[in-house]
A and B are shown apart, each in its own frame.
Chain A
Amino acid sequence: DVKVTQSSRYLVKRTGEKVFLECVQDMDHENMFWYRQDPGLGLRLIYFSYDVKMKEKGDIPEGYSVSREKKERFSLILESASTNQTSMYLCASMSVGSNQPQHFGDGTRLSIL
């Protein structure tokens, strides 16, 4: 069974802080994703990565960056946290190929004060 682990379930940070959200998957998946989940807006893709050190912007990359130094780990970085980045953040991984499902972590509920 695929395991996607996000480092924190809940996180509270202050405006202007640099925030790191970590995600690890154990299935050797090539593709990894970071989403924001907000009520009424569904899931919005922030960044994704299709290989080590490779990254692509999603729909809402502003204010975020990512790092993928190892295949199993995909980090989301909020360079200078702002209150409008308060949200639920979901990490997912997926194998290459058509019709492959994405496997999600439990999510990190991030509050920026």
Chain B
Amino acid sequence: AQRVTQPEKLLSVFKGAPVELKCNYSYSGSPELFWYVQYSRQRLQLLLRHISRESIKGFTADLNKGETSFHLKKPFAQEEDSAMYYCALSGANSNYQLIWGAGTKLIIKP
């Protein structure tokens, strides 16, 4: 079955501490992985995708096919990173529709 699992509903860290938001997936084939973010009172928006291998707002995510994971990391959290984060995947098996994780609420404490 195709599935995206974000094991933490809530993650709270102090400003300046490292952040890792976990995402595991189940998919047969080659998935395309995404992280989306929703800041308070703003629309859901793409943060990054694995194919781009980019760093956005200091966040990176590496696709680990062996562990079927796509964890989102940032070395030094900032208060403005507080938001809801969703991991999602798509691929040929899902007709390129997105399969979503349940989301992780990230709170950065001052």
Closest A residue to B96 by CB, please name it. Answer: A98
Establish whether residues B44 and A90, one from each chain, have CB atoms under 8 Å apart when the complex forms: yes
Write out the residue numbers on chain B whose beta carbons fall within 8 Å of the beta carbon of A84.
none
A104 to B43, CA, bound (A): 6
Query: Which residues of B in the span 32-78 have a Cβ within 8 Å of any Cβ on A?
Result: 32, 34, 42-46, 49, 51
Once A and B bind, how many residue pairs between them come within 8 Å at the CB atom? 45
Assuming the contacts A98-B32, A99-B51, A101-B34, asked whether A43 and B100 have C-beta atoms less than 8 A apart, the reply is yes
Establish whether residues B96 and A107, one from each chain, have CB atoms under 8 Å apart when the complex forms: no
Give chain A's interface residue range (CB within 8 Å of chain B).
20 to 34
Give chain B nearest CB distance to A96 CB in angstroms. Answer: 8
Closest B residue to A4 by CB, please name it. Answer: B43
Establish whether residues B98 and A40, one from each chain, have CB atoms under 8 Å apart when the complex forms: no
Is A41 part of the contact surface with B, judged by Cβ < 8 Å?
Answer: yes
A52 to B104, CA, bound (A): 35
> B-side interface residues toward A, CB under 8 Å?
6, 9, 32, 34, 42-46, 49, 51, 86, 90-92, 96-98, 100-103
16 contacts across the A-B interface (CB closer than 8 A): A33-B97, A42-B102, A42-B103, A43-B44, A43-B98, A92-B44, A98-B32, A98-B90, A99-B49, A99-B51, A101-B46, A102-B98, A104-B43, A104-B44, A106-B43, A107-B44
